[in-house]
Amino acid sequence: MELKTYQQKVIDNLEEYLEYVQVHKNVSTAFNQYWEDKIGAYNPLDNSGMQPYKNNIPNAAHVCIKVPTAGGKTFIAVNALHTVFSAYDTSKTKAVIWLVPWSNLLQQTVNALSNPEHPYRQKLNTLFNHKVSIYQKEDLLQGSNFNPTVVKEQLSIFVLSFASLRAKNKDDRKVYQENGQLESFASQYPNRKHLLENVDDTALINVIRSLHPVLVVDESHNAESDLSVDMLKNLNPSFILDLTATPRDNSNIVSLVPAIELKKEHMVKLPVIVYNNHDKTEVINNALHLQRKLEILAKNEALEGGKYIRPIILFQAQPKTNDDNTTFEKLKEQLLGLGIPENQIKIKTANIDELKGIDLMDKMCEVRYIITVNALKEGWDCPFAYILASLADKSSAVDVEQILGRVLRQPYVQKHKSFQLNLSYVLTASAKFNETLQSIVEGLKASGFSGNEHRVADKMTEEEKKTETTNPLESFLFPEQHIKEEEAIDKGRISFNPFAQDDEIKDTSVIAEIETMAEEQNKELEKQIQEQEKQPIDESIFQEMGDKVKRYRVKEVNKEIIENIDFPQFFLKVTASDIFGTDEELLNRESLLKDFKLSDEDIKIDFDKISTDLYKVDLTETVKDNYTPDWVKIEESQIKDPISEYILAKPKEAQISDITHQIMQIIGNMYPIPDQEIKKYVARILKSMNVEQTRDILVRKWSYTDKIKAKIRQLSDSYAETRFLDLIKSKRIIAKNNWKLMKEIVPGNAGSSIGNSLYEKEGIMNNFEEKVIMEIGTSSNIAFWHRNLEKGKGFYINGFKANHYPDFILQTKSGKTILIETKGDHLDGSDSEGKCRLGNEWEKQAGHDFSYFMIFDKKEVDGAYTLDKAKELISEM
């Protein structure tokens, strides 16, 4: 199981933030700068920009990931653990507390992370070298396979509920009591600073505190009370990762996933089709017919090779009435009275759970109707749930907010042939439909969506919406006169026959209307997705963030000019099929490195001149104050890795395996080179080392890893460039128009105001960049200049180098488009040389109207230009 595109983006964002921490050595400063560079500095006057870092839990980095319901939060967290621990010294104990708010979610999480066949556990095994153990509270209290030696050698995940740790009277909790089973941990404490006052050394809470664990807080919006914050502080964490669809105001969001990304990846059934019926009888009738329609479509797809789907209705019954009768029991009687078999109906309320032990996605399961009130509000979902039919009183605003998210998950995470199976449905009969609609909007927001992912049809007339009003005082004084009679279900108006054969069923007018509306709205959303594909990578995120994002428009005088500029990028001709000949796809390094075998390349690396400086995470000790944890610069020789001697005592092959795993953690993602190839290459390097070098690499892992990564980049760049030039020569790579300047940009921090710019404001520049644009961009023959944006926002030259974003785009009044890459005279290494060769090849292939200049101040470099020479040439264009 691999990460979806948007899930990988979340991991990339987390890695990017951790890199900022490395640079700024402070989690708060890093967070503020991270967002400032993306969307601009925070301005409290208009609330634009991201609010500054909130230091919720002292001595811990605390960040949040916002992912809508059905977005795969658990799988993201599994991958995020590897990212987080890769930022630490490998000697850090890999202890994780995975906190969940409800008991059913706890069991789901334990099962998923423990089961060797489950994709989550398989991913953990891959990322952590198959050294993974999952514990519940009982395992920890009993010391079951839980001791200092075991914990040091593996990733240990403790899955716990909020309730098991959150209590006012700590003395009554076993977690806080003396525990002889954990005596071995107490003797290992390096100091006693972590110990809670008046709590025994052997208590589980003190053992956990000694490990300075990483916390994963699932559904973290449930952990905002003072009691919950105290609970988190008591765990003495080094890092906290919040996962939620609805972050609170004090969350430090480092990544957020827009709803449309889930739809693109077929994770959710959107849009939601909302249909307000005339009365409760119609809700039941139309829900039954809609379920049947969807099931017929699903059966037909299955016959054609599609996946098995059995659409389910969630009937939301009215809460208890004045006489304390439960309306869900009445509803079940009414459904049985229509001839529906009892084994197809289940009740799930706070006190009745007929779903326990049932696998709703099993082909042998017959359940098609689930009756609930609000018991399914969180921690439960079934992708087969398609229809939410609310049976609240006609005069009530239907409160569907709590359970709307239960019908949003898409079966099998794939697009189904019948568009009706890619959407979800809400049927109501509410005289206060505007309020009901607001509840639906809030329900979408509670699931992490924008609230605009629904389409509405209201069939109740204004006359039908008129409801009897009661004087509150009279109702209080004479309640017996104001007891409402529950709206009766008219079985005579329900045309549903549960035993009718599929070929005997015809669509009702309402089902046809819902279907037409669904088709129109589905097409509209699909079109929106297609349009979004043309936008910068982060544009959907910026749209989600709304007014927080600082945007700058193209100047009026330049609007017409940019419409006529199309920027070429490289495309690779690929064979579509014997019948259709060739096709073209945007060139990427993956295609150039397809046959690259790193494991077979040379391992000649000069390790003699290794820097002794190292940056590592130290979130267990504070340096500057009592609130902000720091990443501390230290000498590698000072690191005391307790595992080193243990590894060196092993046979050579075992040493290579263990050290390779440590190096792989530091190397991180070098896509598109497969991890397995890198692993083999690292193992070859280690195999060639003597005992002294092996000992040294354990002490100075980061410095050795930097050298190894540089060598891998050099080898892959060389291979990719050779392959690129071969494909250019054989005419299989062509330049083709593929990119246009945007009407608005989000530069993050704005730079100095220099005349003749394309946009109202341009991105920030360094001193040499400002000098270049002052001397060239304001020349009389230049129509405009633009500070090209990076990281998916601007134009890039694709090819054998990782995407090359030139610093500037200029347009001459004669219609020539010029790309400029600036380099300080101290920057003339192999990376610059490679970019220069790529840029010059792009100019050659792009045609007469495009030019590329790499500009140094005074230094003369082959293929590049000094500032004076570039200024002279460009002035003549």
Q: What is the CATH number of the domain that holds 801?
A: 3.40.1350
Range of the domain at 351: 261-462+511-529
Structure tokens at 494: 């329900």
DSSP E strands: which ranges in 409-558? Answer: 424-428, 454-458, 552-553
Same domain, 59 and 201: yes
Residue 170's pLDDT is what? Answer: 52
Residue of higher predicted confidence among 449 and 810 = 810
Q: H helices within 595-672, ranges in order?
A: 642-648, 652-667
Whole-angstrom distance, CA of residue 550 vs CA of residue 568: 28
Long-range contacts of 705-714 (CB under 8 A, 24+ apart): 705/663, 705/666, 705/667, 706/611, 707/605, 707/606, 707/607, 707/610, 708/605, 708/663, 708/667, 708/682, 709/667, 709/670, 711/603, 711/605, 712/598, 712/670, 712/673, 712/678, 712/681, 714/830
Sorting pLDDT into bands at 50, 70 and 90, what band is 819? very high
733 occurs within a structural domain = no
- CA of residue 242 relative to chain centroid, distance: 12
Residue 632's pLDDT is what? Answer: 37
Any idea what DSSP says for residue 62? E
At 445, the amino acid letter reads K
Label the pairing between strands 272-276 and 94-100: unpaired
Residue 439: half-sphere exposure toward Cβ, Cα within 13 Å:
19
* Residue 497 burial (CB count, 10 A): 13
Q: Which CATH number fits the domain that encloses residue 519?
A: 3.40.50.300
Instruction: Indicate if the pLDDT at residue 631 is higher than 50.
Output: no
Residue 269 near residue 407 (C-beta atoms within 8 A):
yes
Whole-angstrom distance, CA of residue 106 vs CA of residue 112: 10
Same domain, 90 and 197: yes
Whole-angstrom distance, CA of residue 82 vs CA of residue 101: 23
Sorting pLDDT into bands at 50, 70 and 90, what band is 837? very high
Residue 774's pLDDT is what? Answer: 94
Residue of higher predicted confidence among 9 and 380 = 9
Instruction: Give the mean pLDDT of 652-661.
Output: 86
Sorting pLDDT into bands at 50, 70 and 90, what band is 208? very high
Same domain, 225 and 197: yes
The 10s digit of each residue's pLDDT in 266-303 is 998 888 898 888 888 899 999 999 999 999 999 999 99
H or E segment and range at residue 385: strand 385-390
Range of weakest confidence among 104-118, 476-490, 679-693: 476-490
Same domain, 649 and 707: yes
Phi, psi of 684 (to 5 degrees): -65, -40
Pick from 673, 699, 726: which residue ends a domain?
A: 726
584 occurs within a structural domain = no
324 occurs within a structural domain = yes
Instruction: Give the mean pLDDT of 39-44.
Output: 90
Residue 483's pLDDT is what? Answer: 46
Instruction: Indicate if the pLDDT at residue 96 is higher than 90.
Output: yes
Matching residue, tokens 């530069």: 747
Residue 616's pLDDT is what? Answer: 45
Range of weakest confidence among 363-377, 586-600, 678-692, 770-784: 363-377
Rg (CA), the chain: 31
Interacting residues of 660 by C-beta distance below 8 A, sequence separation 6+: 679, 682, 683, 686
Phi/psi-derived region of residue 47, left when phi > 0, alpha when psi is between -120 and 50, beta in every other case: left
Whole-angstrom distance, CA of residue 237 vs CA of residue 761: 42
3-state SS, 71-129, equals: CCHHHHHHHHHHHHHHCECCCCCEEEEEEECCHHHHHHHHHHHHCCCCHHHHHHHHHCC
Instruction: Give the mean pLDDT of 818-839.
Output: 85
Instruction: Give the mean pLDDT of 527-556.
Output: 84
Same domain, 166 and 190: yes
Strand-pairing partners, residue 586, are 571
Instruction: Indicate if the pLDDT at residue 228 is higher than 80.
Output: no
- CA of residue 266 relative to chain centroid, distance: 15
Phi/psi-derived region of residue 99, left when phi > 0, alpha when psi is between -120 and 50, beta in every other case: beta
Label the pairing between strands 424-428 and 272-276: parallel
Residue 877 near residue 816 (C-beta atoms within 8 A):
yes
Same domain, 718 and 778: no
* Cα 678 to Cα 193, 661, 716, distances in angstroms: 41, 11, 11
> How deeply is 580 buried, as exposed, middle or buried, from its count of CB atoms within 10 A (0-12, 13-18, 19+)?
exposed
Residue 396's pLDDT is what? Answer: 61
Residue 174's pLDDT is what? Answer: 85
775 occurs within a structural domain = yes
Residue 305's pLDDT is what? Answer: 92
Of the chain, the percentage scoring pLDDT greater than 70 comes to: 88
* Residue 95 burial (CB count, 10 A): 23
191 occurs within a structural domain = yes
Instruction: Give the mean pLDDT of 707-728.
Output: 93
Structure tokens at 60: 């811990």
* Residue 186 burial (CB count, 10 A): 18
Whole-angstrom distance, CA of residue 131 vs CA of residue 877: 63
Sorting pLDDT into bands at 50, 70 and 90, what band is 407? confident
Sorting pLDDT into bands at 50, 70 and 90, what band is 418? very high
Whole-angstrom distance, CA of residue 384 vs CA of residue 308: 10
Residue 842 near residue 570 (C-beta atoms within 8 A):
yes
* Cα 184 to Cα 149, 201, 208, 459, distances in angstroms: 10, 10, 13, 70
Range of weakest confidence among 401-415, 429-443, 780-794: 429-443
Label the pairing between strands 581-586 and 567-577: antiparallel
The 10s digit of each residue's pLDDT in 730-751 is 999 999 999 999 999 999 888 8
Whole-angstrom distance, CA of residue 629 vs CA of residue 236: 12
What's the chain's average pLDDT? Answer: 84
547 occurs within a structural domain = no
498 occurs within a structural domain = no
Instruction: Indicate if the pLDDT at residue 844 is higher than 60.
Output: yes
Same domain, 352 and 436: yes
Instruction: Give the mean pLDDT of 456-483.
Output: 63
Residue 171's pLDDT is what? Answer: 47
Of the chain, the percentage scoring pLDDT greater than 90 comes to: 43
Residue of higher predicted confidence among 418 and 630 = 418
Strand-pairing partners, residue 457, are 275
Label the pairing between strands 272-276 and 239-244: unpaired
Structurally, the chain folds into a number of domains equal to 4
Pick from 222, 241, 257: which residue ends a domain?
A: 257
Residue 50's pLDDT is what? Answer: 92
Same domain, 458 and 606: no
Same domain, 241 and 198: yes
Residue 225's pLDDT is what? Answer: 67
Pick from 210, 238, 257: which residue ends a domain?
A: 257
For the chain, what's the residue count?
877
Residue 817 near residue 792 (C-beta atoms within 8 A):
no
Instruction: Give the mean pLDDT of 337-353.
Output: 89
Q: Which CATH number fits the domain that encloses residue 210?
A: 3.40.50
Residue 610's pLDDT is what? Answer: 67
- Give the global pTM: 0.83
Matching residue, tokens 């460039």: 721
Residue 108's pLDDT is what? Answer: 87
Same domain, 307 and 352: yes
Same domain, 337 and 196: no
Sorting pLDDT into bands at 50, 70 and 90, what band is 115? very high
Residue 796's pLDDT is what? Answer: 95
Residue 852 near residue 839 (C-beta atoms within 8 A):
yes
Residue 621's pLDDT is what? Answer: 40
Interior angle at CA 232, CA 230 and CA 236, nearest 5: 110
Interacting residues of 495 by C-beta distance below 8 A, sequence separation 6+: 285, 289, 508
Instruction: Indicate if the pLDDT at residue 471 is higher than 50.
Output: yes
Same domain, 721 and 751: no
Residue 618's pLDDT is what? Answer: 43
Phi, psi of 744 (to 5 degrees): -135, 150
Structure tokens at 629: 């944890």
Instruction: Give the mean pLDDT of 93-99.
Output: 94
Residue 781 near residue 875 (C-beta atoms within 8 A):
yes
13 occurs within a structural domain = yes
Instruction: Indicate if the pLDDT at residue 173 is higher than 90.
Output: no
Nearest to 873 by CA among 771, 779, 766, 784: 779
At 493, the amino acid letter reads R
* Residue 489 burial (CB count, 10 A): 22
